[in-house]
Chain A
Amino acid sequence: MAVAEQPISVPTPAKKQQVSQSYWSLVWWKFKRNRAALVGGILLASMYISFVFIPEFLAPYALETTSEYLEAPPTKLHFVDADGKFSLQPFVYGMERKIDVKTRSRTYVEDTSRKYPVSLFVPGDPYKLLGFIPTDIHLYGVDRKGDPAAIVLIMGSDALGRDWFTRVLYGGRLSLLIGLIGQVLTIVFGTVLGVMSGFYGGAIDQVIQRTTEFLSAFPEIPLFMALAAAIPQYWSQLTVYFMLTVILSFVRWGGLARQVRGLILSSREREYVLAAKSAGASDSRIMFRHLLPSTMSHVIVIATLAIPGMILAETALSWLGLGIRPPLTSWGTLLQDAATVRAIHNSPWELWTVPFILLTILAYNLLGDGLRDALDPYGAR
């Protein structure tokens, strides 16, 4: 025995000894070492918070607020005024519209005589925060009470004079949610049908697998078009939106169902399935309580990586005019606005939607990749 020369720290007996790390703490431990995935996750979380929950607060105006500044370029933020005076608070100048009679084009010039400071937490259009807190405070803006002509358009405005940044924020709500809701529906369809397909085999398997093959062999856009065209015109916008979500997930559950089926095929021969059966468990209990949980880490990864496709599909459909239609605003309808040569020529700032879409998809892919590595914490690095 070694002589205790140095003080030996007696480990204080833990009240409840943790025998081993739980699965999720291992997952988290591995996930947080992956910087890119962490960035993707944080990016997505902030996007969902800002676009889904609080766009009313972040946007300086309400979605319907129009102005007289049609197709105005982004207003420049100034810190130094015409006299060379510096102020820490940024300000914008008033805009003067000029119409070139020859080319019939609008141009805007800054009117340096009118100066509007841009401040944080300014009162503006009233709204209900999170749907129930009535307020009129917006994150940033100019005081319009003093001069109604004051306006700040950090991403310009559209042909109706609406703030483009406001529209991007509100459009993000529908686009991001359609990806999420659609993916949830896809998981439901995909896992239920996949588990049944793998567990029962035989005729049920055949029907489900041939259906997925049929759906995946069908060209996607015409299929979307046919299904979207079947939505009655007189339905309310919200119903159309949810029908679209259902259509998107209806077309896309096949891949997930196949993967789940494959996993179930290998695990249904395990002894614990037999044990569960001999204990009197019903088929559905075996399928959904004993088999399905083992596929979940897989499903999470597939689903995360499939959400961007869902968002893009919505965008593409709306861009084609088959998905969400104005006055609902989604990134797809915003792209549709910017789709003409005229729009690109006259108001290129309307392409501001694109980086948001790209960023979302990039973030999802980073997160999905990170999850794929992290959810197998016992696997090789």
Chain B
Amino acid sequence: MSETKYEPLLEVKNLRVEFDVRAGVVKAVDGLTMTINRGKTLGVIGESGCGKSVTARAILNMIPKPGKITQGEIIYHRRRTKDGQAQIDDILDLTKTDPDGTTIRSIRGGEIGMIFQEPMSSLTPVYTAGAHINEAVSLHHLTPVRKVGDQLAEQVMAHRKVTQQEARVIAIDMLRRVGIPKPDERVDNYPHQLSGGQRQRVMIAVALSCEPAMLIADEPTTALDVSIEAQILDIMRELQESANMAIMFITHNLGVIASMADEIVVMYMGKVVERGKVLEIFKDPKHPYTQALLRSIPKLGNKTTRGERLASIAGMTPDPFNLPTGCVFHPRCPMFMAGKCDRITPSWKEVSKDHYASCLLYEEV
């Protein structure tokens, strides 16, 4: 699967995440396999609720309460520099780590950073009142006034032993790198004094301040307008090049993914239905779901489609408690083959070089 020049950073193997809720068990992620390579961008696309965000959370071992990783492994090729020089390669299964332990906590933020869907509320709002009383309450905690800069500083301190002044310098530098004007003034601003785009940049700066080997961007630009979105994407690309950082880019915006990703994973109802290089997927989608997704992109100035209705995928996403038998996409599939698709679960098939699809069309049954 991975060529020699592709060096795997994170291998997700047959991952299954289940949510045991009152109404039944939901398989949010079912048998997911993917590889994220060092310095490359993996795009994850799919409809809302298909398990993209849960996958991201699973990588950091942060599945919310009723959820559980019931199967599979997430192999993280940890590379640490010890005493400045020696590189220690270390293979770690993230699903086996204690979710509250020090190992995963040092990986979170330190080695795998994450940017969230809601940039607007991802910064802790400031309560100077709290900062004061907190000091009295938690006597041993040093409580600096929590400003944007301090949120950065806090993270830097959690992973590197730096002094407050050094942390501040790093904070200002990071803000400059993500393109915030007047970073030495902005560093003292509270989140409510920043615009949405600035907050998102601060989030990115927070995530990147420890120079992680990988960044998980969970719909980082969904809440932003297109011009800011373009700027943010530029910043991410720049920083990826300068730090050789892998990015797992989760989105349902196909345009964004086309410009960002090296490889693409298409998810549907917790399963990967197709994966391959970005060009392959966009030029020659194999799975009917991917084909339908790409058809639903509105095209400007295309004479042949003028006056037509925008293509959409028929039907609704199935009830997660009662997933269809066979191929989960079969009730909505335009290429539905009666007697086959509703009975046989498709397996992986390499349809062309490094391009995999999970569809009975490419299997001989």
A113: Cβ under 8 A from any B Cβ? no
Decide if B137 touches A192 in the complex (CB within 8 Å). yes
Checking B127, B143, B206 against A23 with a beta-carbon cut-off of 8 angstroms, the contacting residue is B127
Residue of A nearest to B62 (CB): A277
Checking B62, B106, B129, B207 against A300 with a beta-carbon cut-off of 8 angstroms, the contacting residue is B129
Checking A27, A276, A296 against B130 with a beta-carbon cut-off of 8 angstroms, the contacting residue is A296
Chain B residues within an 8 Å CB radius of A24 = 128-129
Q: How far is the CA of A180 from the CA of B113 in the complex (A)?
A: 44
A280: Cβ under 8 A from any B Cβ? yes
Decide if A280 touches B129 in the complex (CB within 8 Å). no
Instruction: From B118-126, B228-236, B237-245, B290-298, give the one contacting chain A.
Output: B118-126
Decide if A293 touches B110 in the complex (CB within 8 Å). no
Chain A residues within an 8 Å CB radius of B159 = 280
Chain B residues within an 8 Å CB radius of A277 = 62, 108
Q: How far is the CA of A91 from the CA of B108 in the complex (A)?
A: 78
A290: Cβ under 8 A from any B Cβ? yes
- Contacts of A129-175 to chain B: CB distance below 8 A: none
B105: Cβ under 8 A from any A Cβ? yes
Q: Mark A272-313, 1 if CB is under 8 A from B, else 0.
A: 101111111111000011101111110110000000000000
A191: Cβ under 8 A from any B Cβ? yes
Q: How far is the CA of A297 from the CA of B129 in the complex (A)?
A: 7
Chain A residues within an 8 Å CB radius of B207 = 279
Q: Which of B128, B132, B137, B203 has the most CB of A within 10 A?
A: B137
Checking A20, A184, A271, A297 against B122 with a beta-carbon cut-off of 8 angstroms, the contacting residue is A271
Interface contact tally, CB-CB below 8 A:
110
B141: Cβ under 8 A from any A Cβ? yes
Decide if A280 touches B128 in the complex (CB within 8 Å). no
A36: Cβ under 8 A from any B Cβ? no
Residue of B nearest to A22 (CB): B128
Chain A residues within an 8 Å CB radius of B155 = 279-280
Q: Which of B113, B127, B159, B203 has the most CB of A within 10 A?
A: B127
- Contacts of B138-167 to chain A: CB distance below 8 A: 138, 141, 143, 146, 154-155, 158-159
Decide if B100 touches A279 in the complex (CB within 8 Å). no
Q: Which of A27, A187, A296 has the most CB of B within 10 A?
A: A296
Given the contacts A296-B127, A297-B129, A280 and B105 also touching, CB distance less than 8 Å = yes
Q: How far is the CA of A279 from the CA of B128 in the complex (A)?
A: 22
Decide if B158 touches A283 in the complex (CB within 8 Å). no
Q: How far is the CA of A22 from the CA of B127 in the complex (A)?
A: 10
Expressed in whole angstroms, the minimum distance between the Cβ of B82 and any Cβ of chain A is 19
Q: Mark B167-203, 1 if CB is under 8 A from A, else 0.
A: 0000000000000000000000100010000000001
- Contacts of B71-100 to chain A: CB distance below 8 A: 100
B134: Cβ under 8 A from any A Cβ? yes
Expressed in whole angstroms, the minimum distance between the Cβ of A266 and any Cβ of chain B is 13
Decide if B137 touches A300 in the complex (CB within 8 Å). no
Checking A23, A187, A271, A278 against B137 with a beta-carbon cut-off of 8 angstroms, the contacting residue is A187
Residue of B nearest to A184 (CB): B136
Residue of B nearest to A201 (CB): B65
Q: How far is the CA of A370 from the CA of B135 in the complex (A)?
A: 24
Decide if A289 touches B106 in the complex (CB within 8 Å). no
Checking A271, A283, A293 against B127 with a beta-carbon cut-off of 8 angstroms, the contacting residue is A293
- Contacts of B43-81 to chain A: CB distance below 8 A: 60, 62, 65
Decide if A296 touches B158 in the complex (CB within 8 Å). no
Decide if A188 touches B100 in the complex (CB within 8 Å). no
Chain B residues within an 8 Å CB radius of A184 = 136
Interface bracket on B? 35 or more
Residue of A nearest to B64 (CB): A274
Chain A residues within an 8 Å CB radius of B289 = none
A375: Cβ under 8 A from any B Cβ? yes
Chain A residues within an 8 Å CB radius of B141 = 288-289
Given the contacts A272-B125, A279-B206, A293 and B134 also touching, CB distance less than 8 Å = yes
Decide if B106 touches A280 in the complex (CB within 8 Å). yes
Decide if B123 touches A288 in the complex (CB within 8 Å). no
Q: How far is the CA of A278 from the CA of B206 in the complex (A)?
A: 11
Given the contacts A280-B110, A282-B105, A275 and B122 also touching, CB distance less than 8 Å = yes
Decide if A20 touches B193 in the complex (CB within 8 Å). yes
Q: How far is the CA of A270 from the CA of B116 in the complex (A)?
A: 12
Given the contacts A274-B116, A296-B134, A23 and B126 also touching, CB distance less than 8 Å = yes
Chain B residues within an 8 Å CB radius of A294 = 125, 127, 130
Chain A residues within an 8 Å CB radius of B62 = 274, 277-278
Given the contacts A271-B121, A278-B108, A279-B155, A296 and B143 also touching, CB distance less than 8 Å = no
Q: How far is the CA of A120 from the CA of B143 in the complex (A)?
A: 47
Chain B residues within an 8 Å CB radius of A27 = 129
Chain A residues within an 8 Å CB radius of B114 = 275, 278-279
Chain A residues within an 8 Å CB radius of B130 = 292-297
Expressed in whole angstroms, the minimum distance between the Cβ of B22 and any Cβ of chain A is 16
Expressed in whole angstroms, the minimum distance between the Cβ of A18 and any Cβ of chain B is 10
Q: Mark B5-21, 1 if CB is under 8 A from A, else 0.
A: 00000000000000000
Chain B residues within an 8 Å CB radius of A278 = 60, 62, 108-109, 113-114, 116
Chain B residues within an 8 Å CB radius of A191 = 137
Residue of B nearest to A195 (CB): B137
With contacts A23-B127, A280-B155 known, what are 15 further pairs, Cβ within 8 A? A24-B128, A187-B137, A271-B121, A272-B123, A274-B62, A278-B60, A279-B113, A280-B158, A280-B159, A281-B109, A283-B100, A288-B137, A288-B138, A290-B124, A300-B129
Sample of 21 A–B contacts (CB below 8 Å) = A19-B193, A20-B193, A23-B126, A24-B129, A27-B129, A278-B114, A279-B109, A279-B113, A279-B155, A279-B207, A280-B105, A280-B108, A281-B158, A289-B143, A293-B129, A293-B134, A296-B129, A296-B134, A297-B127, A299-B133, A375-B129
Interface residues of A, Cβ cutoff 8 Å to B: 19-20, 22-24, 27, 184, 187-188, 191-192, 201, 270-272, 274-283, 288-290, 292-297, 299-300, 375
